[in-house]
Amino acid sequence: MTAEIIAIGTELLLGDILNTNAQYLSRQLADMGISVYYQSVVGDNVDRLKETLKNAMNRTSIIITTGGLGPTTDDLSKETIAKLLDLPLVEHEESRDRIIDFFKNRNIDMAENNLKQAYIPKGAIVLKNDNGTAPGFIVNTKKNTIVVLPGPPSEMKPMFESEVKKELKKLNEGVILSRTVKLCGIGESTVAKILQDVIDKQTNPTIAPYAKDGEVHLRITAKTDNETEAVNLIDDMQQKVDEYVGDYIYTTDEKTLEETLVSTLKDKNLTLSVAESCTGGMLSGRIINCSGVSEVYKEGLITYSNEAKMKYLGVKEETLAKHGAVSEETAREMVEGLISKCKTDTAISVTGIAGPTGGTAQKPVGLVYIGVHYNGTTTVKKCNFYGNRQKVRTRAVVEGLIMLWNLVK
């Protein structure tokens, strides 16, 4: 069973809004075992919409459109679809009554053109809209199932949940399941090389690596007749992955790296403090985005200036003079200063040159020292990151999370 999602609206083509509907529907369909082969976006233009619909009807069986069901003259999804399928538009009484009530209940005068929304292609299954005025509908032809939904996510999503899912389930045979195995501390190409054999031989389940800001995610997807079998297939594949790159796996559920670190620290009853120079709060900011982090995260010091490094962390003036603020020695004194000042079980320090200025031949932009402390031992790592200021800082944050997680896991 294959599908195409078509979003209709010139505002998408102008970049005014983000096509979040496509992501939502893709995920929903994947979970139902329907393979989305294409997503398309087209403007409120009859000819181009017609062409896009024809294309989709030729290449996939299920088509879901969003948008273009409003009351104004530039909303023409319904009219175009009806014409293409050679179906007349007929008034749907229940929808008409719902529209009139919608305005009455809100004490708003209804514009006459709103009643245009009650017209539906003859023979279509009408999808009622509990959150707006435009009903959706489904037309089944010999070859295709065409699902037409309103554009606003607040109307589209509840309609999909309550009305569309059950109709699509009638069409579907089998189950599709996905699981993401998340790795850190290893590059995408290295993972791909190590798993080359597994990747080359993949049929069902499939496996695909994705790189993501210093992490690699492996997506395992199985298609079968029933859920138990799908889980077994995925478990088998995960076991293979585990044999090859198990040391780098930090989670096999939907957790982020920082959530994994925070829950490990919480499980082991360990507290954390953080000192940041070039990342300037980003590392703490990410850790504190984990709800319930207060048991773990105690204090954070943003010691951007040399004075602050001395004042709060006790970094020695001679260390800064001799080795510089961006040095192994400073990173070490920062993290050890944290431990003695904050009395936490673990600590992370970051000092580096994020650029674009401040780099030299000896200490180029991207040079970052990261210190971690756990169980009486301090480790400092020298990193050379690439990219603009924001990217260098993001990579430093991820590296700090990875280093501590590797120590405490």
Quick one: 188 or 235, whose CB is closer to a copy of itself?
188
Count of residues that interact with a copy of itself, criterion CB under 8 A: 124
The yes or no reply on residue 282 touching a copy of itself (CB under 8 A) is yes
The yes or no reply on residue 281 touching a copy of itself (CB under 8 A) is yes
Residue range at the interface with a copy of itself (CB under 8 A); choices 84-92, 140-148, 150-158, 262-270: 150-158
Positive or negative torsion for Cα 3, 21, 151, 134? positive
The yes or no reply on residue 400 touching a copy of itself (CB under 8 A) is no
Residue range at the interface with a copy of itself (CB under 8 A); choices 82-90, 108-116, 316-324, 330-338: 108-116
H helices, E strands: number in the chain: 16, 17
The yes or no reply on residue 203 touching a copy of itself (CB under 8 A) is no
Which of residues 156, 159, 301, 402 is near a copy of itself by CB under 8 A?
A: 301
Contacts to a copy of itself from residues 118-147, by CB under 8 A: 130-132
Which of residues 143, 243, 254, 357 is near a copy of itself by CB under 8 A?
A: 357
Quick one: 158 or 235, whose CB is closer to a copy of itself?
158
Contacts to a copy of itself from residues 49-88, by CB under 8 A: 51-52, 55, 59, 70-74
Which of residues 293, 335, 372, 398 is near a copy of itself by CB under 8 A?
A: 293
Annotate 312-361 with DSSP letters as a single string: HH---HHHHHHH-SSSHHHHHHHHHHHHHHH--SEEEEEEE--SSSS--S
CA angle 24, 28, 34 (to 5 degrees): 130
Which of residues 87, 100, 140, 158 is near a copy of itself by CB under 8 A?
A: 158
DSSP code of 71?
Answer: S
Tokens, residue 385: 């990151």
Residue range at the interface with a copy of itself (CB under 8 A); choices 82-90, 246-254, 381-389, 400-408: 381-389
The yes or no reply on residue 269 touching a copy of itself (CB under 8 A) is no
Note the Cα 240 to chain centre separation in Å: 26
- In the complex, minimum distance from the CB of residue 347 to a copy of itself, in angstroms, rounded to a whole number: 13
- In the complex, minimum distance from the CB of residue 16 to a copy of itself, in angstroms, rounded to a whole number: 7
**What are the two backbone dihedrals, phi and then psi, of residue 307, each rounded to the nearest 5 degrees?**
-60, -45
The yes or no reply on residue 174 touching a copy of itself (CB under 8 A) is no
For residues 68, 72, 76, 82, the Cα torsion angle rounded to the nearest 10 degrees is: 110
Residue showing tokens 């589209």: 156
- In the complex, minimum distance from the CB of residue 278 to a copy of itself, in angstroms, rounded to a whole number: 8
Residue range at the interface with a copy of itself (CB under 8 A); choices 89-97, 262-270, 294-302, 328-336: 294-302
- In the complex, minimum distance from the CB of residue 105 to a copy of itself, in angstroms, rounded to a whole number: 5
Quick one: 13 or 89, whose CB is closer to a copy of itself?
13
Contacts to a copy of itself from residues 3-42, by CB under 8 A: 10-20, 22-30, 35-42
- Ramachandran area for residue 382 (φ above 0: left; ψ -120 to 50: alpha; else beta): beta
- In the complex, minimum distance from the CB of residue 123 to a copy of itself, in angstroms, rounded to a whole number: 27
- In the complex, minimum distance from the CB of residue 69 to a copy of itself, in angstroms, rounded to a whole number: 11
Note the Cα 285 to chain centre separation in Å: 18
Report, in this order, helix, strand and coil percent for the chain, each rounded to 5.
45, 25, 30
Annotate 110-166 with DSSP letters as a single string: PPGGGGGGGEEETTPEEE--SSSS--EEEEE-SS-EEEEE-SSHHHHHHHIIIIIHH
Which of residues 66, 224, 303, 327 is near a copy of itself by CB under 8 A?
A: 303
Measured distance CA(379)–CA(347) in Å, rounded: 11
Contacts to a copy of itself from residues 88-107, by CB under 8 A: 102, 105-107
Measured distance CA(248)–CA(260) in Å, rounded: 13
Which of residues 79, 167, 299, 328 is near a copy of itself by CB under 8 A?
A: 299
- In the complex, minimum distance from the CB of residue 75 to a copy of itself, in angstroms, rounded to a whole number: 9
Contacts to a copy of itself from residues 206-265, by CB under 8 A: 208-211, 213, 219, 221
Tokens, residue 386: 């690439």
- SS3 of residue 378 by DSSP: strand
**What are the two backbone dihedrals, phi and then psi, of residue 388, each rounded to the nearest 5 degrees?**
-75, 175
Quick one: 266 or 391, whose CB is closer to a copy of itself?
391
- SS3 of residue 3 by DSSP: strand
